[in-house]
Amino acid sequence: MDKIPFNKPHLTGNETAYIKEAVSSGKISGNGAFTKKCQAFFRERYGFKKALLTTSCTDALEMCALLADIQPGDEVIIPSYTFVSTALAFVRQGAVIKFADSRSDHPGINEESIESLISDKTKAIVPVHYAGIACDMDLIMNLANQHDLLVIEDAAQAIESNYKGHPLGSIGNLAAFSFHETKNINAGEGGLLAINDERFIDRSEIIWEKGTNRAAFFRGEIDKYGWVDTGSSFLPSELTAAFLWAQIENLEKIQQRRKEIWNLYYDRLSLAADDFGIQIPVIPEYATNNGHMFYLVCKSEEQRTGLIDYLNKSNILAVFHYQSLHKSHFYKDRYEGPELPYADKYTDRLVRLPFYYRLSDEEILKITSHVNEYFSQSP
């Protein structure tokens, strides 16, 4: 029996052709024709003041930390239930991470808990739009404005999602997206820095290009370029951008199918939520759903382990997600904050079901039938 994997990267069919086109052009290093096409698309579609492709979302977040001028001892507020990159980008600059708990109804940050974490050392708030579902950005932006803080949206999972009609990633000062192979559109590895605050536009190009003003030189704005600031080699090759452009061309088709998959999961598993006390995704009124993932929250860690094992025996690969960063091996000895019970709840109980573009209706019916069977037998 064929195994249903957790993820299978989608290929549109044009990736190889565009990579060959990039190779034939003789320009395969970064910031070529495909890079410019991708960046222009994101600017125009989502209204970013500037968009820069990066080699990963982690790199985009590291650029955010540099642009925000995070210094040793500065405090940055992030949710504990997130991928390590959300914290790592700021820890590398010497920041003290102030971890916020998740919501009771959703793994995203508990927006109501943020204000109590703000001090005179706080520099930025980093909301994570978990599963592509928007945080309450009005509340977060109001807090930031009151306390003169930057807002950096971790929109790794949030392409094509909105908050009250505004594209995610277009609301905070800065934002970072991921094009990892598990994301809605992918480049294998890849990311995007979105800039909405004009103060950061000029410096972003310099940091992106190894601390040089090379981009301005190639536009003919200066007669030579040199080392003018800190930075790194954050820009991807044209091969990555060419692959991504093939995905962008099929964005609406990809999104339509992913939403169909999400809705079929929801319809088939709503009874499990009602009958067996299992938590399924909630979409607040202010948010839209981009079909990034479908998850369940079990009643206990033991029940989750049992479900994953039960599905695996039927050749269905489901996985758990993040571990609370405040309890991670790296950070636990330096964490001095309160207990974060909801972050720990999702750490112990959340399970992600297989989700990818070519997942068939028949496969979804098989997965959901096994899930319902498991819960009907589970104490």
Please state the domain extents for the chain. Answer: 15-249, 251-377
pLDDT (tens digit, 9 = 90+) per residue, 87-117? 999 999 999 999 999 999 999 999 999 999 9
Report the chain's mean pLDDT, rounded to a whole number.
96
State the Cα–Cα distance between residues 133 and 116, nearest whole angstrom. Answer: 23
pLDDT (tens digit, 9 = 90+) per residue, 152-192? 999 999 999 999 999 999 999 999 999 999 999 999 999 99
Residue 379 has pLDDT above 70, yes or no: no
Asked if 249 contacts 272 with a C-beta cutoff of 8 angstroms, the reply is no
State the Cα–Cα distance between residues 359 and 365, nearest whole angstrom. Answer: 10
Mean of pLDDT values over 350-374: 97
Asked if 60 contacts 192 with a C-beta cutoff of 8 angstroms, the reply is yes
Collapse the DSSP code of 68 into the 3-class scheme (helix H, G, I; strand E, B; otherwise coil) and give the result.
coil
State the Cα–Cα distance between residues 89 and 181, nearest whole angstrom. Answer: 21
Residue type, 269: L
Architecture of domain 251-377: Alpha-Beta Complex (3.90)
Architecture of domain 15-249: 3-Layer(aba) Sandwich (3.40)
Residue 1 has pLDDT above 80, yes or no: no
Burial class (CB in 10 A: 0-12, 13-18, 19+), 331: middle
Task: Give Cα separations from 311 to 90, 265, 293, 297, 372 (angstroms).
Answer: 38, 15, 17, 15, 11
Collapse the DSSP code of 233 into the 3-class scheme (helix H, G, I; strand E, B; otherwise coil) and give the result.
strand
